[in-house]
Amino acid sequence: MKINFNVPPYTGKELEYIKQAVEDQKICGDGDFTARCNRWIEERTGAAKALLTTSCTHATEMSAVLLNIGPSDEVIMPSYTFVSTANGFVLRGGVPVFVDIRPDTMNMDENLIESAITEKTKAIVVMHYAGVGCEMDAIMDIAKRHGLFVVEDAAQAIMASYKGRPLGAIGDMGNFSFHETKNLSCGEGGALTLRDERWADQAVIIREKGTNRTLYKMGKVDKYSWIAPGSSWLPSELNAAYLFAQMEMADFINERRLHLWERYNEAFAEMSDSGLIERPTVPEYCKHNAHMYYIKCRDFEERKALIEYLLSKEILPASHYIPLHSSKAGLLYGRFHGEDRYTTKESERLLRLPMYYALTEEDQDEVILRVKEFYNAV
Ligand SMILES: *Cc1c(COP(=O)(O)O)cnc(C)c1O
C-alpha cells in the first residue's frame, strides 16, 4: 500500500522514556509513568480518578464489575459500535439491549433509549463515535429519572468535549483506548475514569488482582491480601512510558489531526453539496478530536466499488462495524429494541479514509484526488 489507513503515532520521546523506566528498574505497573498518565487524564477530563488499564476492553470489564452487573441485567447500548462496548457486560451475564443510531452523528439515538428501559435495566452505555459527543444532557436526564448508571465508551474520544465538558467524565464512568489505531497510543492500552470518588477504592482493588496492594504501598494497611474478586488490569510501565511521551505531545497530535480533518472536509464540500456523498455531522456544541474522517456513499454497492478503486490506487480505506445485533454473539447474547432504521443502512455506506498524525498533505491530496476521480468530480 502506498497510503495506509493508519500509522500508529510516534512523537520522538517514547524510547527515551522506556529506557528511563528500564534504568529505574521499575517496569511492572503503577510506577511513575503510570501515575503521570493517570494525572494527565484526570487533568484533561476532570474525572476524580483515572486508572491506566491494559485496554479499553478491560476498562469496560472493570466498569461491569464496579456496577455489579449480573445475569440478566440489561444494559442499553448502540449496535453500531465495536464489540468491546458489549463484551465486558456479557462476560458478567448481562444482556445488551441495542437501540438504533441517529443517521447524522452515528451515535445512539437518545430519543429511543427511554422505551428500551425495563425493570432489569441497570445502565446506559454510550459510545462517542468518531470523538463526537452523544447527546449527554438528554441521556444523563433519562438516567437520573430512572436511577440508571451511565458508562461512556470514550475509546475514540480523548480530548473531545460536549458543551465544554470533556467526554469520559460526564457519565459515572469512562472507558478510553490507547490502542495503536487511536489518537494517543501505546500499542495496547486504555484507561478507566471515574467521575467521582465513589468507586475509586474498589476500582484500585479489582485492578490489582482483588488485593489492597495500593493501600499497602500508601502505608494505609500493614499487609496486603485478597479482599475481593479482581483481575490484573494494570499495564506495565513500559507501556505507560511510551504513552506518556504522547500525552506530552497530545496538543500537537490533536491539532495536526484536526487540520487534516478540516482539509478533507473542505475538499469534499462541493461533492457533498451536489449530493454525491455525505460528510460527517458535528453539532456546534461538540468539540471533536478528529479521531476519524469518513464519507458516506449512497449505498453498499457504491461503497464497494469505491473501496476497490482506492485499493487499485494503493490507498487503504476502512469500513466498520458489522452491527452487533446481527453478529453471531450479538444474536446469542443481546437483543435489538425497536426498529433498525439506520444502524445497518448507515453502516453499509460509511467509509473511513486514511487519518493519522503522520499523514502528509501530499498523501492526503492523493486520497482526495482518487475519491474525486471515482465520482468524476475532479
Ligand atoms: C478501539 C475501541 C475499543 C477497544 O479498545 P481496546 O483498547 O482495543 O480494547 C472499544 N470501543 C470502541 C468504540 C473502540 O473504538
Q: Show the domain range for 332.
A: 250-374
Cell numbers at 117, concatenated: 428501559
pLDDT digit string, tens, across residues 235-275: 999 999 999 999 999 999 999 999 999 999 999 999 999 99
The answer on 40 and 77 residing in a single domain is yes
Quick check: CB of 6 below 6 Å from ligand 1? no
pLDDT digit string, tens, across residues 27-69: 999 999 999 999 999 999 999 999 999 999 999 999 999 999 9
357 falls within a domain? yes
Quick check: CB of 175 below 6 Å from ligand 1? no
- The pLDDT value recorded for residue 214 is 85
If you measure from the C-alpha of residue 323 to the centroid of ligand 1, how many angstroms do you get, rounded to a whole number?
15
**Phi then psi for 35, rounded to 5 degrees?**
-60, -40
Q: Check pLDDT > 90 for residue 378.
A: no
Quick check: CB of 156 below 6 Å from ligand 1? yes
Q: Choose which residue among 84, 101, 320 to substitute to test ligand 1 binding: the one with the highest number of ligand atoms within 8 A of its C-beta.
A: 84
Quick check: CB of 87 below 6 Å from ligand 1? no
Quick check: CB of 54 below 6 Å from ligand 1? no
The answer on 241 and 255 residing in a single domain is no
7 falls within a domain? no
The answer on 255 and 174 residing in a single domain is no
Could you give the CA distance from residue 233 to residue 189 in angstroms, rounded to a whole number?
10
Please compute the mean of the pLDDT values over residues 334-358 and round it to a whole number: 98
The answer on 356 and 243 residing in a single domain is no
Quick check: CB of 177 below 6 Å from ligand 1? yes
- The pLDDT value recorded for residue 195 is 97
Give the number of the atom of ligand 1 that is nearest the alpha carbon of residue 84.
10
| Domain CATH number, residue 164 | 3.40.640.10
Please compute the mean of the pLDDT values over residues 100-109 and round it to a whole number: 98
3-state secondary structure 118-166: CCCEEEEEEECHHHCCCCHHHHHHHHHHHCCEEEEECCCCCCCEECCEE
Within the chain, where are the H helices? Answer: 14-23, 32-45, 56-66, 84-91, 136-146, 200-207, 213-217, 237-248, 250-267, 269-273, 300-312, 328-333, 343-347, 361-374
- End position of a domain, from candidates 232, 247, 262: 247
Contact 240, 33 (CB under 8 A): yes
> Which H helix or E strand runs over 173?
strand 173-177
Encode 247-284: b = buried (16+ Cβ within 10 Å), e = exposed. Answer: bebbeebbebbeebbebbbebbeebeeeebbbbbebee
Quick check: CB of 110 below 6 Å from ligand 1? no
Could you give the CA distance from residue 133 to residue 166 in angstroms, rounded to a whole number?
9
Please compute the mean of the pLDDT values over residues 97-108 and round it to a whole number: 98
Which amino acid makes up residue 189?
A: G
Please report the DSSP string for 206-259 in residue order.
HHBTTB-HHHHHTTSSSS--B-S---B-PPPHHHHHHHHHHHHTHHHHHHHHHH
The answer on 262 and 317 residing in a single domain is yes
For the entire predicted model, the pTM comes to 0.97
If you measure from the C-alpha of residue 57 to the centroid of ligand 1, how many angstroms do you get, rounded to a whole number?
6
The answer on 263 and 216 residing in a single domain is no
- End position of a domain, from candidates 210, 229, 247: 247
- End position of a domain, from candidates 186, 220, 247: 247
136 falls within a domain? yes
Which of 85-89, 130-134, 212-216 is the least confident region? Answer: 212-216
Which amino acid makes up residue 339?
A: E
Quick check: CB of 78 below 6 Å from ligand 1? no
Quick check: CB of 57 below 6 Å from ligand 1? yes
- The pLDDT value recorded for residue 215 is 82
| C-alpha torsion angle, residues 286, 288, 293, 299 (rounded to 10) | -30
Under the banding of pLDDT at 50, 70 and 90, the label for residue 98 is very high
5 falls within a domain? no
Cell numbers at 302, concatenated: 457504491
Determine which residue's CA is closest to atom 14 belonging to ligand 1.
Answer: 155
If you measure from the C-alpha of residue 56 to the centroid of ligand 1, how many angstroms do you get, rounded to a whole number?
5
Could you give the CA distance from residue 25 to residue 37 in angstroms, rounded to a whole number?
19
The answer on 221 and 99 residing in a single domain is yes
Nearest to 173 by CA among 48, 39, 29, 43: 48
pLDDT digit string, tens, across residues 296-305: 999 999 999 9
> Cβ–Cβ contacts within 10 Å for residue 300, how many?
14
The answer on 360 and 234 residing in a single domain is no
| Number of domains composing the chain | 2
| Domain CATH number, residue 369 | 3.90.1150.10
Quick check: CB of 80 below 6 Å from ligand 1? no
Please compute the mean of the pLDDT values over residues 284-297 and round it to a whole number: 98
The answer on 228 and 155 residing in a single domain is yes
190 falls within a domain? yes
The answer on 321 and 219 residing in a single domain is no
Residue found by looking up cell 466498520 in the block: 320
* Peptide bond connecting 321 to the previous residue in cis, omega within 30 degrees of 0: yes
Nearest to 7 by CA among 363, 354, 376: 354
Residue that wins the pLDDT comparison between 224 and 301: 301
Question: Given its phi and psi angles, is residue 2 left (phi above 0), alpha (psi -120 to 50 degrees) or beta?
Answer: alpha
Could you give the CA distance from residue 359 to residue 354 in angstroms, rounded to a whole number?
8
Q: How far is CA 154 from CA 85, 109, 261, 283, 288, in A?
A: 10, 17, 19, 17, 12
Could you give the CA distance from residue 268 to residue 323 in angstroms, rounded to a whole number?
27
110 falls within a domain? yes
The answer on 254 and 242 residing in a single domain is no
Under the banding of pLDDT at 50, 70 and 90, the label for residue 351 is very high
Contact 153, 123 (CB under 8 A): no
Could you give the CA distance from residue 240 to residue 222 in angstroms, rounded to a whole number?
28
